[in-house]
Amino acid sequence: MSLTTDVSQAAAGTAAGKGSRKHGRGSGSAMQVPRRRPRHRRERIFQWLFLVPAVVYMALFFGYPVAKNVVMSFQDYTTATFFTGEAPWVGLANYVTVLSSSLFSTSLLNTALFTVGSILGQFVIGLALAVFFRRKFPLNGILRSLLLLPWLLPLIVSSAVWRWILDKDSGALNRFLGDLGIIDTGIPWLTSTSLALIAVVGVNIWIGIPFNLTILYGGLQEIPDELYEAGSLDGATGWRAFWHITWPMLRPVVSVVLVLGVVYTLKVLDIILGLTNGGPANSTQTIATQSYALSFHEFKFGEGAALGNVLVIISLVFAVLYLRASRRAVDE
Amino acid sequence: MKSIRKTSRPLALAAAAMIGLPLAVSGCGTSTASSSEAVKEISVMDYYNNEPDKSFIGDALTSCGTQAGVTIKRETVPGKSLISKVLQQSSSKTLPDVLMLDNPDLQQIAATGALAPLADFKISTDNFAAGVLSAGTYKDKVYGLAPTVNTIALFYNKDILAKAGVTPPTTWDELKTAATKLTAGDQYGLAFNANPTYEGTWQFLPVMWSNGGDEKKIDTPETEQALQLWTELVKDGSVSSSALNWTQADVKDQFLAGKAAMMVNGPWQIPALDKEPSLQYGVVKIPVREAGQTAVAPLGGEVWTVPQTGNKARQAKAAEVVACLNSDEKQLSMAKARNTIPSKTTLADKFATENPKLATFTELIKTARARTGQLGEEWPAQATKIYTAIQTALTGNASPADALKQAQGQ
Amino acid sequence: MTTQLKALPASAAALPARKNWGYTALAIFFLAVMLFPVYWMVNASLQPNGTTLETSWLPLKPDFTGYATAINEQGGNLVTSLVISLGSVALSLAIAAPAAYALAYFKVRGAGLVLFAILISQMIPGIVVANALYTAYNDLGLLNSIPGLILADSAHGIPFAILIIRAFMNGMPASVIEAARVDGAGHIRAFWSIVLPLSRNSLITAGLFTFLFAWSDFLFALTLTTTEAVRPVTLGIFQYIGAYVNDWSSVMATAVLASVPAIVLLVAAQKYIAAGTTGGAVK
């Protein structure tokens, strides 16, 4: 059986079945290497050799910090602890303090709004741009690479520039809107409790678009043109082609982009601190910024670690969802 | 299945590495015991990482090092990262021989036991301004001395005020009237920093303290009056609501560009102001509520300390350098170069005469108050409450009285 | 049913005879909107005081003092950043690609656990890792060294690269690798000669972001250096940001200058993300 026919059959199968992966990938999914009893052991060792460097690397760099952070959240860890090493065990007291503080419900809500808003904006715009850039036109490559610039700039620079752009009195955005005649007086983007979170989400979307765009574009490039050709012969073009060909093939890439997006967005700290420092009046205070403030402004490291771990637990929920989804995809 | 045993081996290896490496690594690298050989070099850490401060302080350190017979190995870090570095070095026992700290952080670090009392090295603390000693003292022992200090006052644009026929205000009512009169077009009457950081708290302290407010408990009528002033200035439109987001550097930019007729700021902005030849500015104390009250300003500036490194010989040399940095001669030269104020009250008159632009600030240092004077290590929590209350009141979310009560109760 | 594998002009793909300048214009418009803040940064770098408080839309009277300072002082730092970032890319891909392959194709026990651990590693706040690394590096003598920073930056890049490459590999038909193994190729040969070329897109994409993570890293650069011997440009920028006054014009100029080599590299790398490598490699 020639390889050519193999791939085309798989390709045709996928296009014909409406996005169902059961047919097309049945023969091709990640599967068992044929067992050869005498070489079974060597097989396994070889397989683990591929994985061991990465596992060891991560254990070395992340194992101790993770463990330490968990332990710290159960201790009364102060600046003195850094010098003396003494940290009395307080059990769940830190968790109780942070979870029952009046600021927690605000931070939780802000975190949820910030994350949902950012992911929606970044992903939708990133996907739209990725699909757009699939078309061949002059300067496509260069323009697409230039769109990575927001991710490239140091955050201290991005936040300074955005603070100037969003300034109420002399910022470029308000000047532009004023020149167009849309507004009379400056909009207090960063100093109004109702607008600040929206402004911060907007800046985070701006930073996140290159990430989504580039990875989704790479994923789109993996989809063979033949599928679209076969599909167009069946009458699937434009939106239908997207829904029945692109979307199913893109699923693994989409899920990894979403889960990483959520994990990274939950952790976002520098851009919020740079833009508003969590203000005005805690309207942009998220769990991440609150954890940082507890540790490094108020020197209550135990509480900061506890709040940080709460964030990790929230991220874990998404991680588990991702693992379920990706395992199911592999098994089909 | 046979494969389980095989594949779990690498996992076990990884787990062992996870626990093993930090243990193995923490075993090595201990601090050196005190040696009897002569000390040739001492290490210094500070946050003067940008020019021109970097060179001014560097020159002073080198000169003091030469006097003590040692070379200086210096590490400069960005301001916001100093405390993280200090903590990392504390836990790995690699603190420098001479450590600079921002004065409100001194008591926090002294409380950990990481610093040595300066009295151990017979360093004299005579003639230092009361606020300076108060900041550098923890449990009755002096741990750090600041050669130069600074504070904040009211800068005003002479031309703008003259044109509007306004004299520099001395009371709160005069301030409000002046600010209203000076607000026209895209020019605001006053600019100050009310952002949700310790800078916002710092700029509020003069009006709070001058009126008798106490940082230990902020929901008092005196503090409420001060916050009422701040709130009204923003509500009247004399101060842009962007003050909720500005840093002191932003405030200076507004003043420089003529977008604010008056500003609350410190003497370190003078070089930038002087670069603009068309700008004629004057400095007065921040107004008090009623004539007769004393203007109390918060004390800024950095102290030099001698950490406990376990090496007596090095500590002795470090103390020599710290004492030299705090000598009269160094205080005057550094203060003049860096636009700050010498800490010794005996030098005040001479300094004010030779540096007229800094006269108001010099006067204020005599009565300046340390932020950690009463609260010590409890200051950070209380400072957070103050700026939280300011933000709540200035955004209109609550009245000043309620904002203070909410913040105090947290 | 066999389909023609030769490229057929179809649906949205370009007809080689006609150049779609219309799309280019649209793309330039998107770029103009998205990159306005970058333009604003360039504008700020040409202002005398480095801020955009009073500026007009175009820098009509450019002031190059910031650039003079940046060029004089940050040249070495730029090279350091480049070396560290490229080193981090090489190391990360070398470790991540085999691991991603193993996780995508082998049914190893504990694969789910490894993936879980990878995801957890992405959730840890950087400062926690940096604090732990400082002590270890201090004892091992790795402070102020380029290899040390490469190792630290790769710690972020490796888990990320594994996730991305694995996701792409999950989309590849395994029949190709299957056939190769049936033909007797060993694991390593199958990996090297077949899997890697097919994964070109994912390797480049993962490499791009590993480069960007390392290039824009500030935390490890700050924590793991104590002298100015090894100073990436992200930390170099901070010598213009003091506790009292900032020199924004030098900050902006440095940022502009630092972006140039990075963007050149990224443009070059992006050219290699080609369409339909799966179909093409079969020929």
Q: What is the ipTM of this complex?
A: 0.86
Whether the pLDDT of residue B274 is over 90: the answer is yes
Q: What average pLDDT does this structure show over B292-313?
A: 93
Is the four-CA dihedral A271, A277, A280, A285 of positive or negative sign? positive
Radius of gyration, alpha carbons of chain C: 23
Is B249 in CB contact (< 8 Å) with chain C?
yes
> Edge to edge, what strands does the sheet with B144-145 contain?
B71-76, B41-46, B98-102, B302-305, B144-145
Identify which has the larger pLDDT, A61 or C183: A61
In the structure, what pLDDT confidence band is assigned to residue B154 with cuts at 50, 70 and 90? very high
Q: Is domain B153-296+375-409 in CATH 3.40.190.10, yes or no?
A: yes
Closest Cβ opposite residue B196 in set A44, A170, A280: A280
A89 backbone dihedrals φ, ψ, rounded to 5°: -75, 130
Is B79 in CB contact (< 8 Å) with chain A?
no
Closest by CA to B171, choosing from B316, B52, B285, is: B285
Is B272 in CB contact (< 8 Å) with chain C?
yes
**Number of Cβ pairs < 8 A linking chain A and chain C:** 366
B29 backbone dihedrals φ, ψ, rounded to 5°: 70, 80
Q: What average pLDDT does this structure show over A217-237?
A: 84
- Please confirm whether the linkage preceding B196 is cis (ω < 30° from 0): no
Distance from CA of A279 to the nearest CA of C (A): 21
Is B81 in CB contact (< 8 Å) with chain A?
no
DSSP sequence for B353-383: HH-GGGHHHHHHHHT-B-TTTTTGGGHHHHH
CA distance B206 to A330: 66
List pLDDT tens digits, range B346-377: 999 999 999 999 999 999 999 999 999 999 88
Q: Is there a contact between C45 and C67 (Cβ–Cβ < 8 Å)? A: yes
Residue B291: C-alpha distances to residues A91, A173, A191, B172, B285 (Å): 54, 44, 34, 9, 12
Closest Cβ opposite residue C109 in set B4, B85, B268: B4
HSE on the CB side for A23, CA within 13 Å?
11
Chains that touch A (3 or more CB pairs under 8 A): B, C
CA distance B29 to B296: 48
Is B71 in CB contact (< 8 Å) with chain A?
no
Disruptive mutation site among A60, A83, A146, A311 for chain C (greatest number of C CBs within 10 Å): A146
Which of these CATH numbers, 3.30.379.10, 3.40.190.10, 3.40.50.1970, 3.40.50.620, describes B41-150+300-366? 3.40.190.10
Radius of gyration, alpha carbons of chain A: 25
For position A140, what pLDDT does the model report? Answer: 87
Closest Cβ opposite residue A82 in set B13, B14, B91: B91
Closest by CA to A28, choosing from C165, C279, C172, C200, is: C172
CA distance B335 to B340: 5
- C-beta atoms of C271 and A322 within 8 A: no
First and final CA of chain B: distance in angstroms?
58
Whether the pLDDT of residue A27 is over 60: the answer is no
SS3 label, residue B263: strand
List pLDDT tens digits, range A156-215: 999 999 999 999 988 999 999 998 988 888 899 999 999 999 999 999 999 999 999 999
What letter represents residue B130's amino acid?
A: A
- C-beta atoms of A225 and C3 within 8 A: no
A94 backbone dihedrals φ, ψ, rounded to 5°: -60, -45
Q: Where are the domains of chain B?
A: 41-150+300-366, 153-296+375-409
Q: Where are the domains of chain A?
A: 1-29, 92-331
- C-beta atoms of C37 and A256 within 8 A: no
Q: Is domain A92-331 in CATH 3.40.50.300, yes or no?
A: no
Residue C34: count of CB within 10 angstroms of its CB? 19
- C-beta atoms of A52 and B18 within 8 A: no
- C-beta atoms of A169 and B259 within 8 A: yes
What letter represents residue B254's amino acid?
A: Q
Q: Is there a contact between B197 and B218 (Cβ–Cβ < 8 Å)? A: no
Mean pLDDT lowest for which of A225-234, B128-137, C20-29?
Answer: A225-234
For position B31, what pLDDT does the model report? Answer: 44
For chain C, domains (ranges, CATH) are 21-63 (no CATH), 75-281 (1.10.3720.10)
Minimal-distance CA residue of chain B relative to A80: B112
Q: What average pLDDT does this structure show over A258-266?
A: 93
**Number of Cβ pairs < 8 A linking chain B and chain C:** 86
Residues near B274 by beta carbon (within 8 Å), at least 6 away in sequence: none
A170 chain-B contacts, CB cut-off 8 A: 186, 259
**Number of Cβ pairs < 8 A linking chain A and chain B:** 122
> Edge to edge, what strands does the sheet with B281-284 contain?
B188-191, B260-265, B153-157, B281-284
User: Would the pTM count as exceeding 0.80?
Assistant: yes
Helix, strand, coil fractions of chain B, as percent rounded to 5: 55, 15, 30
- C-beta atoms of C216 and A154 within 8 A: yes
Whether the pLDDT of residue B40 is over 50: the answer is yes
